[in-house]
Amino acid sequence: MGKEVNFGKLLHGGDYNPEQWMDYPEILEQDLAYFKKARINEVSLGMFSWAFLEPEEGVFRLEWLKEVIDRLYENEIVVMLSTPTAARPRWMAEKYPEVLRVNAARERNLYGERHNHCYTSPVYREKTRIINTKLAEMFKDHPGVISWHISNEYGGECHCPLCQEAFRGWVKKKYGTLERLNRAWNTGFWSHTYQSFDQVESPSPKGDSSLHGLNLDWKRFVTDQTADFVKWEIKALRDAGAEQPSTINMMYNFTGLNYYKFADVIDFVSWDNYPTWHKEAETVTAMDTGMQHDIMRSIQKKPFYLMESCPSATNWQSVSKLKKPGMLQAASLQAVAHGSDSVLYFQMRQSRGASEKFHGAVIDHYGGSDTRVFREVTKVGAALEKLQEVNGSQNPAEAAVIYDVENRWAVEDAAGPRNAGVFYKATVEKPYQAFRKLGINVDVIDETCSLDGYRVVAAPMVYLLREGWTEKVRNFVKNGGIFLLTYWSGIVDETDLCYLGGTPHDLMDVMGFRSMEIDGLYDGEWNEGIPEPENPLHLELAYRCSHLCELVQPSTAEVVMTYGKDFYDGMPAMTRNVYGKGKAYAVCADFEQGLYDEVCRKLAEEAGVERIVEEVPEGVEVTMRKQKDGTRYVFVQNFNREAVAVKLPIERYPVWQGTYDGTIGSWKTIVLKGR
């Protein structure tokens, strides 16, 4: 999980590109004054600077970077120094075309854009090693350089001959024999049998994409190859004596990589957060963003760093919507509430040209500090200064929701039961949101994570079972845990081969039923769940369901709800099974949010999950951080567009930051403090 990282303060700053302003020394000096005015204490440097650092092969010019870092440090601004590998210089692509990526159609890209490089290429790896070594040698002992920002927003894949050979080696190492490979990928389908490992190719629109085991393993290979490249970058820094902690900046809802596999590669997690505020109700956006924060925090189970956010409007989303007054602070403090020890922006000064010239910035083209956005940023800086003692605290959780990227890959490639959409992410969000509406901290973990320490665990649509997961579930329930499983779970193994003998595989005794069939519903079609009289959860309301309805045959499970129509009218729509000291609940259809809100509230109560605020109004978030000495910081945030009355436990947790008169204003934050 990397080394323990604590920079001693909440960081406020962001991505800074002084190389674009070398012809304007007066602007660089002005920036320092503006940074201090906005309470900026950190900047990220060097992310796309390779052409400035090595303008010709073997010719290195790092002095300008040292001068910038020295001046920043003199002004009490520290640096997260990037390796420049997200965009290679033009000379490299011209001399070594192998560094450029090949797409799935086997076409090599021209030079251009960013992230257009092959992680397998020995040339690119060697050039990366050299430039990283040069940076480490110069800045390993610089007091102003606090961490290494490895490349930028890793993603994408390469299908070049080098990557094909590496993939074949990966496959051969995993399966050992052709017999095992052919069995795992079910290559008897459509006569796809392999006679040699040399025949293995990555998925392609011109070739194979129907072998789901191949598709899954290719995605795993891309993650492993990317992680190996990150390790390569970090090794170059370490070999040169640089010991500052390292990170990569991850992205929202990104499924090109399995981020959980980077937990042991980097020292701390960081991510780039660009919600579309004001597109939907802010309460909806806040809940979605909160889950992404919790995913990032849960990867290493420790504070993360908000590496990028926009102080005003982006320029790459479909509409460049300005943040309304107060929204920047609400969004920034939400990140801190969920475990971030920073609020960082892209970008510090707005670029004059190219594709990000209209992306929001702390300092815009006008170049003054008397703008609305600059004032909003300054308010965030002032708020963070008052919250400094929160730095380093944890977000302990007694509830967890399973979100597994490899499972998502398989679900979304399954070819059934509903190609019009099975809505995996939305299914995960339902129990997450239900728990969060109670003011409960929630970890968002994958199947490889331990279930120890949780009182209640929700597992939505666990279609693909990772090795050992069912045993963890069995032990969790047997020892008293409260477990919630949904439809379309326990269907396939890790190579997407369907289990024989009944599903949910290896959990039929824990759940107390066997799945018989699953019905895909057309858009607009619906069924409903009707509570059984005297059901164990004391449910009284009926709830609608859509998209997917699973038909199950109980063995030991009690029926909580039944379907209200169609040929399966009266069959179980929700069940409960007592197993050992715990209970296993099953939601058999894609029910509306209201069912999850009621059921998860009852499960949290049954599990004995602590709730600091007894009644949380709709649209209000309650999130708790806790220091090692037991001090708790309870963030109460109102994402409604109007003030809301809320009863807070101020006797035990007095108001520490913000004002409270029985209500909390629109987009306002109150922080309580106590033990």
Q: Which listed residue (153, 447, 528, 558) is catalytic?
A: 153
Burial 598-617 (b: 16+ CB within 10 A, else e): bbbbbbbebbebebbbeebb
Q: Which two tokens stand for residue 129?
A: 């090693």
Please provide the distance, in angstroms rounded to a whole number, between the alpha carbons at the two ends of the chain.
Answer: 28
**Segments in 304-371 forming alpha helices (H):** 327-337
Bridge partner list, 527: 545
> 250 — phi, psi (to 5°)?
-90, 175
Computed from CA positions of residues 460, 461, 466, 467, in that sequence, does the dihedral angle turn out positive or negative?
A: positive
Is position 158 annotated in a ligand binding site? yes
Computed from CA positions of residues 104, 107, 112, 116, in that sequence, does the dihedral angle turn out positive or negative?
A: positive
Helices 161-175 & 212-239, crossing angle to 10 degrees?
Answer: 110
Is position 310 annotated in a ligand binding site? no
**Residue 467 catalytic?**
no
d(CA 636, CA 658): 10
Bridge partner list, 186: none
Burial 216-246 (b: 16+ CB within 10 A, else e): bbbbbbbbbbbbebbbbbbebbbebebebbb
Residues 6 or more apart whose CB falls under 8 angstroms from that of 503 comprise: 489, 490, 491, 514, 515
Is position 160 annotated in a ligand binding site? yes
Q: Which two tokens stand for residue 606?
A: 């049954």
**Segments in 314-468 forming alpha helices (H):** 327-337, 372-386, 405-412, 424-436
Q: Which two tokens stand for residue 37?
A: 């005015």
Q: Which listed residue (42, 54, 282, 308) is catalytic?
A: 308
What DSSP state is assigned to residue 99? G
Is position 611 annotated in a ligand binding site? no
**Residue 517 catalytic?**
no
What DSSP state is assigned to residue 626? E
Is position 545 annotated in a ligand binding site? no
Residue 261 half-sphere exposure, CB side, CA atoms within 13 Å?
A: 19
d(CA 413, CA 106): 22
d(CA 569, CA 245): 58
Catalytic residues: 153, 308
* Sequence ranges of the binding site: 114, 118, 152, 158, 160, 163, 316
* Sequence ranges of the binding site for substrate: 114, 152, 316
* Sequence ranges of the binding site for Zn(2+): 118, 158, 160, 163
